Structure 1
Amino acid sequence: MGEQRQRYNEEFKRQTVKYIQEQTKSVADVCVELNIPKSTVNQWIAKYREFDQEPLAAPEKVRELQQQLKEQEKANKLKEREIEDLQEELAILKKALHIFSKEPN
């Protein structure tokens, strides 16, 4: 016959999710360590995850976000410069249109 399914109580599930959040190991590594299927643990994480258990910022994540911020600031400066150039061109065109649309005396 089929294999008996393992049952886990609520406290074990919560403690497992807390353990995963506090570790630097991957979910797959913890699943192997505890001999629990990854899909089961992922369901527990979705249900019991508490964000206050997670570290706020890992140094590599902070560096990555800083780099993204610098790239965005650079892109924004380029766009601002382009907008200023287009506004200047528009002002020149308006003046030219005004000058050339006057009827000659």
Structure 2
Amino acid sequence: MTKKMKSYSSEFKEYVAKMIVLDGHKMTDICNKLNLPYGTVKRWVGSYRDKQKNAEKEEQNQLLTASEYKEMYEKERQEKLEAQEEAEILKKAMHIFTQEIE
């Protein structure tokens, strides 16, 4: 008797791995629910975690230069100031509208 090997798409493998790693589902529950072999799912999860670690290392390896850091800092600072201004305007408008109602 020969067993027929099922092949799954990479999207499906990643979806299953994310359900376990990111959503916190138990591997045995997913295996039972989707009728998948435990060893196969364990391999998919291991592969997914390795990809995550490699992506993290790549992110850490990309250091910012001083000018890039300064640019990013100034941009975030400007966005924060704009958000504060908008909040102040909304507060004033809300105060004006609530006074008219009374």
- Tell me which interval the TM-score lies in, with the shorter structure as reference length: 0.3 to 0.5
TM-score (norm 1): 0.43
The structure with the largest helix share of the pair is: 2
Calculate the TM-score normalised by the size of structure 2. Answer: 0.44
Higher RCO (CA 8 Å, separation ≥ 6 residues): 1
Which of the pair has more CA radius of gyration?
1
